[in-house]
Amino acid sequence: LQSIFLIQSGGLQMRDYELDINPASICTRLISIREQIAEEFANDLGVLAHTMGQHTMDSYYDLMEDIGLQKTKDRNNNGRRLPPHNLVFLGYALDPIDGFTPSPLRQHNFDLAVLLATQESIHRLLNKHCNDNDPHRQYLLDFYVERLESHFTGTQRYGRADDFLEELLFGPPRQVSVVQGEGTTVVVDPVRVAEWILQERREVALEWQSACKNIPSKDHIQIKRLQLDRLMQSYNSNT
């Protein structure tokens, strides 16, 4: 139903006026924006799945090869050591022919998607091995809990997912007890844990990418049908 709003002004020189609000028109614009964001997410999650994980590990092994004998020493250094990902594509439209610019918050949305996908992959790995006496799971659980507030909670800096992975990659190996009371310990390599997270994150990103692709073609079809029915009803009533 169409609504009419009275816009009142407190100034003496400003006139009051009425503004017609058509909810169907607002719905159309919301759907259009939602479809654009979904298309961007589908594209960017594909980059996350197919490129970023491999880039992280390649950069790490290249750095370890350059460091050589100083590997253990560099593992305990602070500060960002791996090169940043190439995210220039976030500033360009998916299809330059259509003339549409990227959504204003695309870069922020992408950073949030990377963070949430990383956290989801950690949760899935912890849940998969919840009944196992796996030392790698215990190491990941402790490492994740220690950084839950600083990396995954609240409004903070960008690139927290990369910070988490880099801290994990450069963390020192740790001895973890396999069975309590028997004195059996296993040395856990953080690099192996990071590789598990990246492999699981790839699956998460592909799963979310599929869901985003379904938004324009499946999730919105019923709403568009209702819009068309309303439009036809309005046209018939006017004629």
Q: Which has the higher per-residue pLDDT, 19 or 5?
A: 19
Quick one: pLDDT at residue 84?
85
What pLDDT, in 10s, does the model give residues 101-153? 788 888 899 999 999 999 999 999 999 877 667 788 889 999 999 999 999 99
pLDDT of 219 higher than 50: yes
Determine the average pLDDT of the residues in 8-28: 68
Q: Which residue has the higher pLDDT, 50 or 75?
A: 50
Mean pLDDT highest for which of 34-38, 160-164, 184-188, 233-237?
160-164
Distances (CA, A) of 194 to 46, 139, 188: 20, 11, 11
| pTM for the structure as a whole | 0.78
In whole numbers, what is the pLDDT of the chain averaged over residues? Answer: 81
